[in-house]
Amino acid sequence: MYDLIKDFPDHLLEALSIGRNAKLKAPDAAYANVVITGLGGSGIGGRIASQAVAREASCPIEVFSNYYLPAYVGKGSLVIACSYSGNTEETLAAMEQALANGARVVCITSGGAMLETAKAKSLDHIVIPGGNPPRTMLAYSLTQQFFILKHFGIIRSDFEASIGKAALKLKADQDAIKAIGKDLAGKLHGKRTIIYSEAATEAVSIRFRQQVNENSKELCWHHAIPEMNHNELVGWAGGDNSLSVVIFRHKDDHARSQVRMEINKEVFAKHTPHIHEVWSQGDDHLGRQIYLVHLGDWASWFLAELKGVDAIEIGVINMLKEKLAGVK
C-alpha cells in the first residue's frame, strides 16, 4: 500500500497518457443528462469529477451507486459505468438497464465482464491497469472521467493541464505531504474521526472516509457544510473528547461557508479539543482537491501503521462477495 500511495502522482501522469490515446466514437446530439455509476474505489472518481465540473457542466451530472438507475435515464442520456475489476454486480446491472433504455454508455474498467460486454456490444470503453486494489487506482478512473466528459461536450476546461500540474506538485512536495499525513494520523489515533468540508468538495471527504474505513480499519463519518448546520450541529450536544474533527478547507470555499466553519469550531471546542484544519494547496480548484486526496491517503496509511493493521486487507468485503455469489 505504501508504494501504491507513493506512486499516485505517477499514476496521474500515466492516466493522462491513457486518456489521450483513448478511441471514443463521436458524440450524439447534446445530452440531457449524465449519470455516473460505480461503487467504492471504482465510484469515488465520478463523485470527485462531478463536483469539480459542476460550475461548467452543460447538463446535470448525477452519481448513482446502486443496482438500478433513475427512471429518466434513456435516450439522450450519457452513462459512464466504472468498475475497476469489471465484475461489480451492481454496476453491471445498472449498465444493462442503461443499454436497455437506449442510453449512450461508456465504460471505464480494467477487464472482467464489463470489458467483455463493451467489446461484444461495441461500446466506448477505456481500459486502465488492473491487478491492484480499486481504491489505489483512483488516479486512473478519476482522470478518465474528465476525458469522457470533455469528449462528449459536457465540459470544455483544460483539465489536462490541471492534473499534470497537480501531479508534478505532488511529486515535488511528497515528503512534506507525507509529514502532514503522519502528523494528522497521530492526532486521530485512538479517536473516532469526523470529517467536514464545504459541500462543493464533499467528495474528497468521502474519499478520506473510505480510506480510513478500508486502510485504517476504522469507523468514522463525514458531513458537509452548510447542510450539517441544519441538523448535525445540534447533535454535538452529545459530543465528547473521544471525537477528533478533521476540517478540509480551501481558500475558494464559499465566503459564508468559511464564516460557518469558524462558528462551528467554537461549537466543537466546547466538547472536544481535537480539532484539526487541513488547508489544501495547488494552483487551481481541481489541483487542490487532488492534493487533499493524496494527503488523506497518506494519513490513512500512517493510521493503519499506528494501529498495527494491514492496510491492504479487506477480508470482510471478500466474504460478502463470496456469500452473494452463492445466492441466485
Asked whether 41 and 136 are in contact (CB, 8 A), the reply is yes
CA dist 54 and 51 (Å) reads: 5
CA dist 214 and 217 (Å) reads: 5
Q: Which domain holds residue 180?
A: 173-307
pLDDT at residue 284, rounded to an integer: 95
Strand ranges across the sheet with 77-83: 61-64, 33-37, 77-83, 104-109, 124-127
Provide the CATH number for the domain around residue 145.
Answer: 3.40.50.10490
The residue from 115, 135, 163 where one domain ends is 163
Q: CB neighbours of 93 closer than 8 A, spacing ≥ 6?
A: 67, 68
pLDDT at residue 259, rounded to an integer: 98
Catalytic residue (choose from 230, 270, 323, 328): 230
Residue 60 DSSP code? -
Asked whether 94 and 62 are in contact (CB, 8 A), the reply is no
Asked whether 133 and 314 are in contact (CB, 8 A), the reply is yes
CA dist 137 and 144 (Å) reads: 12
CA dist 263 and 177 (Å) reads: 28
Say yes or no: 181 and 117 in one domain: no
Say yes or no: 138 and 182 in one domain: no
230 is catalytic: yes
The residue from 163, 184, 214 where one domain ends is 163
Say yes or no: 70 and 151 in one domain: yes
Say yes or no: 142 and 200 in one domain: no
- Among all chains, which residue has been given the C-alpha cell 468540508? 197
Say yes or no: 108 and 59 in one domain: yes
Whole-Å CA distances, 172 to 9, 135, 175: 10, 23, 8
Within the chain, residue ranges assigned H as helices are 2-6, 8-20, 40-52, 89-100, 112-120, 138-151, 159-172, 174-188, 202-214, 232-235, 255-269, 285-307, 315-325
pLDDT at residue 172, rounded to an integer: 98
Catalytic residue (choose from 90, 198, 202, 214): 214
Say yes or no: 50 and 129 in one domain: yes
Give the CB-side neighbour count of residue 30, counting CA atoms within 13 A.
7
Say yes or no: 86 and 177 in one domain: no
Say yes or no: 81 and 118 in one domain: yes
Q: CB neighbours of 167 closer than 8 A, spacing ≥ 6?
A: 9, 10, 12, 13, 16, 290
pLDDT at residue 186, rounded to an integer: 98
pLDDT at residue 249, rounded to an integer: 98
Say yes or no: 229 and 288 in one domain: yes
Question: Average pLDDT for consecutive 10-residue bins of the chain (328 residues)?
Answer: 98 98 94 97 96 96 97 97 97 98 98 98 98 97 98 95 98 98 98 98 98 98 98 98 98 97 98 98 96 98 98 95 91
327, part of any domain: no
168, part of any domain: no
- What total of structural domains would you count in the chain? 2
pLDDT at residue 268, rounded to an integer: 98
Residue 216 DSSP code? T
312, part of any domain: no
Is residue 154 classed as helix, strand or coil in its secondary structure? coil
pLDDT at residue 40, rounded to an integer: 95
Catalytic residue (choose from 25, 121, 251, 321): 321
121 is catalytic: no
62 is catalytic: no
319, part of any domain: no
The residue from 140, 163, 186 where one domain ends is 163
